């Protein structure tokens, strides 16, 4: 039988080394504990002081004793923070004695080369005529080093003079002259590139007309805001045929995304809340080659009559939120055909995520605010929904049949489990609780949420409509409100054209300039050739 090996060696020097190492580790642990304790004390003192200040500002009287107490509290807080800083440095010193950090080589940031399509201007620095070392003039070139610097040329304005010569016939004395060039506005004086820049900067870059007018004036071209507004209206009117073609293409889809957002509208010295509705056709998730498009409509309010009018001639699958104004569209005996509701899992997940936002609660706690409750049930619901989204990311871009097969195999069991779990949790909580509202949001629309299990074309969320609608909230922060109902209608037309270009990876300003230059003499029967997905105009073409 073998003897047990002693846990410690018999060598005295080795034991001394082990004892010194253990003492260093104990010192480090004690230093960490002191640092945490003092940091916590400093935070508590800071919060108490802040609370006392806020209470005094709101409820307390301006007393000298209160001022002295607050000043004393600030001094105490300074001492606590200084102690915490000292303990932190002591902790770092103790850790440096016991921990070793391996050396590493810092990676230098890789500079991306400048785009190849940009023109190059070669500037050669004169070489010396003689050798600076010996003075000899027998020099031979070995090579050269090229340093590239990106530069920009300020915007240049120019006036194009279109000359129309008159000729008289010596035989019949009839005078002939070429026709006047086309302008978007009658007797207009602005070219297509200027109008495209004006429209895109207002609705694509969210720059109000008065800011554009100020910049034009600084560049030496003074144009009144009213004149620019007239050009916006005339340009939108000239582009209405393209808008109608995009609208027809959008509503030819068998599945649409729908959403709406608010837009302030000026009315009799105040603002009212109008609405911008959008309908998105995007079949790329199930692998079709049909180009995506989006159409916007404006309304003065949010009554359900508006989507009913927009979709009066359409039938298919509508992916939208749970807005009650869509309910009349889902009636089975609707003419010209039924509209099937498809639920948005992003909306459902958002309601649970707000009750399980751990990071948000931590941020509020660090700022001294009262953190919200983090419910384990909500966190588990988010995890179950994320499992469905993970499956969708794997099948994105496949054919509808392939998507449907994977969903029947992987997603259907998860949905059945989710349904049973939601019913179980609903019986355990109060019906007025926020969790109960989030659960009922899904259970009451379970047929709409399970629609994707029977049709491979249905997406899991309505994010396509929300992404296309993001331009409106961004613009609201800049131009604040629309001037009238007609201004809201012009915004709907401009947003439809610009966002459709972006969906098709087309430069909106270049496309607008190209269309405005061609639409006057383009045959009506071939107007579809000017659509964004048929005319992919790049910024290089615009510059040329």
Q: Which of 294, 256, 257, 297 is nearest to 275 (CA)?
A: 297
Sign of the C-alpha dihedral computed for residues 12, 14, 16 and 18 taken in this order: negative
Question: Cα Rg for the chain, rounded, in angstroms?
Answer: 35
For the cut 80, the answer to whether the pLDDT of residue 2 exceeds it is no
Higher pLDDT, 414 or 16: 414
- The number of CA neighbours under 13 Å toward the Cβ of 226 is 0
In sequence order, what are the residues at sequence separation of 6 or more whose Cβ sits closer than 8 angstroms to the Cβ of residue 40? Answer: none
Q: What is the three-class DSSP state of 258?
A: strand
Phi-psi region of 278 (alpha: psi -120 to 50; beta: other; left: phi over 0): beta
pLDDT, residue 367, reads 67
CB atoms within 10 A of CB 198: 23
Between strands 167-168 and 316-319, the pairing is unpaired
CB distance 339 to 315 below 8 Å: yes
**Distance from CA of residue 4 to its chain's centroid?**
67
pLDDT-based confidence at 56, cuts 50/70/90? low
Find the range with the poorest average confidence among 50-54, 86-90, 147-151, 260-264: 86-90
First to last CA, the chain: 94
Enumerate the β-bridge partners of residue 270: 267
Q: Crossing angle, helix 376-395 and helix 434-443, to 10 degrees? A: 30
Task: Dump pLDDT digits (tens) for 17-37.
Answer: 777 777 777 777 777 777 677
Q: Which of 317, 315, 251, 253 is nearest to 455 (CA)?
A: 317
272/470 Cα distance (integer angstroms):
20
540/508 Cα distance (integer angstroms):
13
Mean residue pLDDT across the chain: 83
- The pTM (predicted TM-score) of the whole model is 0.74
Tokens matching residue 340: 């099937």
CB distance 495 to 203 below 8 Å: yes
For the cut 60, the answer to whether the pLDDT of residue 405 exceeds it is yes
For the cut 80, the answer to whether the pLDDT of residue 358 exceeds it is no
Q: What is the three-class DSSP state of 274?
A: strand
Task: Dump pLDDT digits (tens) for 156-168.
Answer: 899 988 899 999 9
Give the burial class of 334: count Cβ atoms within 10 A of its Cβ; 0-12 exposed, 13-18 middle, 19 or more buried. middle
Task: Dump pLDDT digits (tens) for 296-353.
Answer: 999 999 999 999 999 999 999 999 998 988 999 999 888 888 999 999 999 999 989 8
Helices (H) and strands (E) in the chain, counts: 19, 7
Element holding 325 (H helix, E strand)? none
Strands (E), 312-400: 316-319, 339-342
Domain boundaries, the chain: 19-55+77-86, 182-344+462-544, 345-461
């Amino acid at each position: 039988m073998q003897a047990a090996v002693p846990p410690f060696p018999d060598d005295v020097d080795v034991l001394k080394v082990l004892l010194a190492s253990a003492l260093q580790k104990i010192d480090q642990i004690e230093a960490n504990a002191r640092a945490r304790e003092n940091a916590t004390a400093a935070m508590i003192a800071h919060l108490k002081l802040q609370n006392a200040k806020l209470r005094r500002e709101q409820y307390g009287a301006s007393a000298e004793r209160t001022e002295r107490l607050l000043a004393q509290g600030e001094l105490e807080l300074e001492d606590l923070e200084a102690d915490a800083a000292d303990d932190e440095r002591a902790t770092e010193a103790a850790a440096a004695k016991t921990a070793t950090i391996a050396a590493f080589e810092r990676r230098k940031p890789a500079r991306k080369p400048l785009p190849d399509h940009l023109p190059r201007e070669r500037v050669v620095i004169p070489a010396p005529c003689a050798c600076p070392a010996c003075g000899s003039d027998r020099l031979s070139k070995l090579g050269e080093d090229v340093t590239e610097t990106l530069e920009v040329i300020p915007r240049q304005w120019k006036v194009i003079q279109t000359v129309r010569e008159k000729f008289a016939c010596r035989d019949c004395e009839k005078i002939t002259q070429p026709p006047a060039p086309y302008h978007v506005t009658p007797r207009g004086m602005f070219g297509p590139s200027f109008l495209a820049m004006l429209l895109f900067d207002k609705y694509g870059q969210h720059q109000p007309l008065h800011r554009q007018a100020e910049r034009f004036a600084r560049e030496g071209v003074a144009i009144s805001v009213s004149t620019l507004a007239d050009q916006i209206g005339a340009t939108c009117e000239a582009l209405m045929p393209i808008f109608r073609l995009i609208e027809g293409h959008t509503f030819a889809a068998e599945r649409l995304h729908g959403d709406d957002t608010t837009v302030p509208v000026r009315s009799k010295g105040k603002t009212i809340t109008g609405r911008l509705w959008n309908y998105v056709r995007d079949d790329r998730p199930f692998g079709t080659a049909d180009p995506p498009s989006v159409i916007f409509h404006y309304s003065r309010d949010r009554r359900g009559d508006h989507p009913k009018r927009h979709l009066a001639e359409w039938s298919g699958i509508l992916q939208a939120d749970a807005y009650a104004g869509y309910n009349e569209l889902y009636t089975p005996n609707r003419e010209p055909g039924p509209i099937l509701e498809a639920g948005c899992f992003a909306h459902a997940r958002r309601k649970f995520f707000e009750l399980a936002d751990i990071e948000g609660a931590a941020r509020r706690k660090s700022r001294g605010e009262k953190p919200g409750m983090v419910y384990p049930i909500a966190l588990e619901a988010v995890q179950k929904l994320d499992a469905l989204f993970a499956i969708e990311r794997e099948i994105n871009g496949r054919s509808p049949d392939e998507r449907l097969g994977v969903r029947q195999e992987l997603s259907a069991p998860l949905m059945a489990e989710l349904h049973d779990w939601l019913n179980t949790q609903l019986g355990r909580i109060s019906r007025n609780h926020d969790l109960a509202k989030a659960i009922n949001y899904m259970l009451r629309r379970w047929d709409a949420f399970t629609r994707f299990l029977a049709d491979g074309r249905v997406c899991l969320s309505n994010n396509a409509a929300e992404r296309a609608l993001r331009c409106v909230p961004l613009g609201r922060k800049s131009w604040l409100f629309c001037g009238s109902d007609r201004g809201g209608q012009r915004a709907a037309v401009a947003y439809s054209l610009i966002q459709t270009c972006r969906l098709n990876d087309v430069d909106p300003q270049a496309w607008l300039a190209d269309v405005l230059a061609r639409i006057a003499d383009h045959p009506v029967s071939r107007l579809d050739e000017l659509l964004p997905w048929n005319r992919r105009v790049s910024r290089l073409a615009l510059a040329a």
